[in-house]
Amino acid sequence: MPERANGAVSKTAVCVSGPGVRIPLSPPFKRPLMIDDKDYRKILKQTWEFWVHPEIQHMKKRGVFSPSSKVYAFQVLFPGDDRSPFVRLNNEVNVCVRLKTGEDYKIGDDVELKNVERLKLHHEEEDWGHITFIRGEGAWYGDFNFVYNKSVAREHLEAASEFLQAATLSYENKLWRPVVDNCYSSIELLMKVQLLLIAQLNKGKKTGHQGISTIYNRIFRGSSSTSLLNELSGLRPKARYLKNKFSLGENKAADYLKLIKKEMTYLEHKL
């Protein structure tokens, strides 16, 4: 682990990445992003106690953090796989600022706190979860995100959209067997997206139909998406492999398309 800088805070700005976004300290940002004050204080306290303070004590014992050093920024990163969370301090903290207008400020830009909407990880680290706090003038400013595997989930979402389009075309032509087959492929991919985003699937490991279904039913038992997955899973062998008698009404097919589109829209917003 690289040695930390002493972390002296500038009177005008603090470096959020090294080198990185500069956030002026005045006026101080006294409220958290997207969370209320009670949750903000709780997250700040627990993050410090569980990860940051133990890391600082460990570094002091190793002689790589001076007792006189000030902590003005810290970040805990959660890879979402078998690796343990790890801590960054001060000029090692690496974030990209998303403004309220939706425009990103990057390395070398000055940002006023009043214009900041979120702190997010850079593209190369977007698959990880994080908790990030930066100290302003008398206040801690923070953000967090525990949505994992965004890059791989995005690819699965695009594939699910293609299968939904195929199902819609089949519906318009009253081809009920392809409707079922494509609806099943679409909803299964969407369920995989959901599991990837909460780190319940390893993005580098292949998981078959039964594996995805088992995990999803265990975590999301009783949900409408689980019921849809199970219903299509039972209907697909009849439609695709001609096992037993198959029938599908037009209204039922329309319901499938509507429910899948709703689930897709929900996941698009999460990404």
pLDDT band, very low/low/confident/very high, at 13 (cuts 50, 70, 90):
very low
Residue linked to tokens 């682990």 = 1
Tell me the pLDDT tens digit for each residue of 47-76.
Answer: 999 999 999 999 999 999 888 888 888 999
Determine the Cα angle at 206 with ends 204 and 207, to 5°.
Answer: 130
More confident residue, 108 or 1: 108
Question: Mind listing the domains of the chain with CATH numbers?
Answer: 13-145 (no CATH), 150-270 (1.20.120.330)
pTM for this model (two decimals): 0.76
Alpha-carbon gap, residue 156 to 195, rounded angstroms? 11
Alpha-carbon gap, residue 5 to 78, rounded angstroms? 23
CA-nearest of 190, 84, 76, 79 to 127 is 79
pLDDT > 70 in the chain, percent? 77
pLDDT of residue 183: 98
269: buried, middle or exposed (CB in 10 Å: 19+, 13-18, 0-12)?
A: exposed
Tell me the pLDDT tens digit for each residue of 151-204.
Answer: 999 999 999 999 999 999 999 999 999 999 999 999 999 999 999 999 998 766
Tell me the pLDDT tens digit for each residue of 195-254.
Answer: 999 999 876 667 788 888 899 989 998 899 999 999 999 999 999 999 899 999 999 999
pLDDT band, very low/low/confident/very high, at 37 (cuts 50, 70, 90):
low
More confident residue, 261 or 105: 261
**Cis previous bond, 19, omega within 30:** yes
Query: Is 70 exceeded by the pLDDT of residue 15?
Result: no
For the chain, the average pLDDT equals: 81
Alpha-carbon gap, residue 68 to 65, rounded angstroms? 8
